[in-house]
């Protein structure tokens, strides 16, 4: 590819399920290459598998991409390309290959091939190569792979991979009904959309020599290839939707910020260097080089992603944080009714919550005690905090708080003195009070929470806990 050739990359998901984080990484790498080169990002939906594709999956992928800032930006085409809209063009390419002698019709069945080769697992034996069959319903069209030589896939991530042509069978490019298979449709779409660089997962590497042969047979120069390593879980197993949490939509719904997801996914197999990791996307794009991507499997570390997300949450402005929390303060997340929710009260504790959340959905459990008539009763928290002597702490706190100055610092000093009276440090002394008032052993700072909740409601909850003990 010459320096003057404009860069055009593509992301071509198949809408057969929710959007895999591995696909999101591939899309981001393509987007970064387009952005840093002033090139074009093409979004193509490969929807020819009618039995497995669903419109809602397509919409989900488009929406998930939009959430992380990615969209079709080909100025010549509005919206994503749909592979199914180009079936006739795929047929024309198949006929072109037949006419040029690069393909031939075959009527062999699997049973016949097995009988000839003595195995169900051997590739096609070329039986129909020189039979001169014409098109007929049910006859597949096969590509005539060169007998000699080799196909060298030049991959900017993996280097050169050599495939002896004799090891590549004469593969099917069109089915018996004339429709193109994925290999041919994919190549024709890339050719027509003038794709110059194909950046995708390594699971496609085995198809690449066949696709490169098709590019050359159609009289075109193959694109630059770049195959990304697989993403694995903590057991170093490839991320699987049957076993792992892999859908980008699920992470976003849980309250992982799009900016945090983008930052983390960009680092799955690549490093910006200089021991820096949390960087704005513009800076990641500036530093990104596809040739620097690692070939080793990339570990999807949810703990690290969560830590990233916490950093991004803390970096939000107060207004941004309030807006980001809003979806988690109503059904189906909220355990309170709309009438019980108090926006002004929430805003008083929001700055406290912002310093503690790892994901936005945690806001619900952190503030529910403010809006419910009684706190959510967590049995494990109760058992942990209500040890022998807890009732005495609660009674003393109840008595002192009836007249104490109602502000966080005086409330803290009061309980500190009660703890010293009972030979306890503040952490031990406040545990039963926290559980009595908020229902849990962890949460927002206790004394600011007491101040926000108000004297009457705090005293009522202490009374209820004392009665239960």
Spatial CB neighbours of 328, under 8 Å, sequence gap ≥ 6:
255, 334, 360, 361, 363, 364
Question: DSSP assignment of 69-95, as one string?
Answer: T-----TTSSS-EEGGGGHHHHHHHHH
Known binding residue 463? Answer is no
Pick the catalytic residue from 238, 241, 304, 468. 241
C-alpha 56/C-alpha 69 separation (Å) is 20
**Annotation marks residue 468 as catalytic:** no
Given a contact cutoff of 8 angstroms between Cβ atoms, the answer to whether 366 and 357 are in contact is yes
In angstroms, the Cα distances linking 129 to 62, 123, 155 are 43, 14, 31
- To the nearest 10 degrees (0 to 180), the angle between helices 258-266 and 302-314 is 130
C-alpha 445/C-alpha 460 separation (Å) is 20
Known binding residue 325? Answer is no
Beta-sheet pairing, 231-232 with 172-174: unpaired
The DSSP 8-state label assigned to residue 413 in this structure reads H
C-alpha 348/C-alpha 418 separation (Å) is 27
Known binding residue 241? Answer is yes
- To the nearest 10 degrees (0 to 180), the angle between helices 446-453 and 363-371 is 40
Question: What amino acid positions are annotated as catalytic residues?
Answer: 241
- Binding region for ATP: 241
- Binding region: 106, 108, 128, 130, 241
């Amino acid at each position: 590819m010459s320096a003057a050739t404009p860069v055009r990359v593509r992301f071509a998901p198949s809408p057969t399920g929710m959007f895999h984080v591995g696909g999101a990484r591939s899309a981001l790498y393509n987007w970064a290459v387009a952005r840093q080169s002033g090139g074009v990002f093409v979004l193509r939906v490969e929807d020819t598998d009618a039995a497995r594709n669903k419109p809602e999956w397509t919409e989900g992928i488009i929406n998930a991409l939009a959430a992380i800032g990615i969209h079709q930006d080909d100025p010549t085409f509005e919206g994503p390309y749909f592979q199914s809209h180009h079936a006739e063009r795929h047929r024309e390419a198949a006929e072109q290959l037949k006419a040029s002698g690069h393909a031939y019709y075959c009527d062999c069945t699997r049973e016949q091939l097995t009988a000839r080769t003595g195995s169900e697992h051997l590739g096609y034996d070329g039986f129909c190569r020189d039979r001169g069959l014409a098109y007929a319903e049910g006859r597949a069209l096969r590509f005539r792979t060169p007998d000699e030589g080799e196909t060298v896939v030049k991959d900017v991530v993996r280097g050169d991979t050599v495939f002896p042509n004799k090891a590549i069978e004469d593969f099917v490019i069109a089915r018996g009904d004339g429709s193109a298979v994925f290999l041919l449709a994919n190549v024709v779409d890339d050719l027509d959309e003038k794709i110059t660089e194909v950046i995708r997962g390594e699971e496609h590497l085995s198809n690449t020599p066949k696709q490169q042969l098709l590019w050359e047979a159609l009289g075109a120069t193959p694109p630059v290839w770049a195959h990304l390593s697989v993403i694995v879980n903590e057991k170093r197993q490839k991320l699987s939707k049957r076993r792992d949490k892999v859908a980008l939509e699920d992470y976003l719904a849980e309250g992982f910020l799009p900016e945090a997801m983008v930052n983390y996914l960009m680092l799955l197999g690549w490093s910006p260097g200089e021991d820096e990791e949390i960087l704005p996307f513009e800076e990641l794009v500036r530093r990104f080089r596809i040739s620097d991507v690692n070939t080793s499997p990339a570990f999807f570390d949810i703990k690290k992603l969560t830590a990233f997300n916490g950093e991004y949450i803390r970096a939000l402005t107060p207004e941004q944080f309030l807006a980001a929390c809003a979806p988690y303060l109503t059904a189906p997340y909220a355990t309170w009714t709309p009438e019980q929710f108090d926006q002004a009260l929430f805003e008083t504790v929001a700055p406290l919550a912002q310093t503690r959340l790892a994901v936005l959905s945690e806001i619900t459990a952190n503030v529910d005690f403010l809006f419910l008539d009684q706190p959510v009763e967590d049995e494990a928290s109760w058992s942990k905090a209500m040890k022998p002597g807890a009732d005495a702490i609660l009674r003393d706190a109840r008595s002192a708080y009836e007249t104490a100055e109602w502000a966080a610092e005086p409330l803290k000093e009061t309980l500190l003195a009660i703890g010293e009276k009972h030979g306890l440090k503040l952490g031990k002394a406040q545990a039963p009070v926290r559980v009595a008032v908020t229902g849990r052993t962890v949460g927002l700072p206790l004394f600011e929470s007491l101040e926000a909740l108000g004297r009457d409601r705090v005293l009522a909850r202490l009374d209820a806990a004392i009665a239960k003990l």
